[in-house]
Amino acid sequence: MLNIENLNAKIEDKEILKGLNLNIKPGEVHAIMGPNGSGKSTLSNILSEKKGYEINGMLLLKVKIYYLETEERAHKGIFLAFQYPLEIPGVNTNTFLKTSINAIKKARGEKELDALEFLKLIKKKSAELKFDEKILSRQLNVGFSGGEKKKNEILQMSILNPKLSILDETDSGLDIDALRIVSEGVNSLRNKDNSFF
């Protein structure tokens, strides 16, 4: 699924990752642990193609992803759940989700969802995650609690059905009930064809 060979990364001359090797196979779940500043979020950012890092090494997800832009990586099946999801005023959550899934379907040559198909899908996925559908009519993450933001990202992940999901400290800021719902949501998405870390 993902193969990283001898990955080095630095930002503003500060070396963060030094010769990282990682191989994640389909169906596997990996937990990367370490103290603050050890490079966990840096690795997540690099895989999603965040600008500002100077890197060398090999990043493979069936194809070389080193030269792919962020949206191209999403088309290949990479999804990043942020540690602190951003609020995006003026962008309706439902519109964002529908646009996202249809952009990926279009890039893969698949039929895009019409409004009714999308509504049916979002109702089903929201029910599975115990996610209040009323929130979907609000601006993206604006005024959401920490738990709502994280559940919203898991909802995005369930709709987009990525091959590789990168969960950057998904438990951050969650109470025990929200953590349970989010973990159940992640576990429900696991199968032999996708991977998580």
pLDDT of 56 reads 81
**Gap between the Cα atoms of 78 and 164, Å rounded:** 5
pLDDT digits 0-9 by tens, 60-117: 666 666 677 888 888 888 888 887 788 999 999 999 999 999 999 999 999 999 999 9
pTM of the full predicted structure?
A: 0.82
3-state secondary structure of 187: helix
| Ranges of each domain in the chain | 2-81, 88-191
pLDDT digits 0-9 by tens, 32-71: 888 877 888 888 888 887 888 888 877 666 666 667 788 8
Q: Above 80 in pLDDT, residue 138? A: yes
pLDDT of 62 reads 62
55 DSSP β-pair partners: 9
Residues 6 or more apart whose CB falls under 8 angstroms from that of 119 comprise none
Tell me the DSSP string of 4-55. Answer: EEEEEEEETTEEEEEEEEEEE-TT-B------TTSSHHHHHHHHTT-TT-EE
CB 140 within 8 A of CB 93: yes
Q: Which CATH superfamily includes the segment(s) 88-191?
A: P-loop containing nucleotide triphosphate hydrolases (3.40.50.300)
Q: What one-letter code names the amino acid at 66?
A: Y
Phi, psi of 185 (to 5 degrees): -65, -45
Tell me the DSSP string of 115-126. Answer: HHHHHHHHHHHH
**Gap between the Cα atoms of 65 and 89, Å rounded:** 31
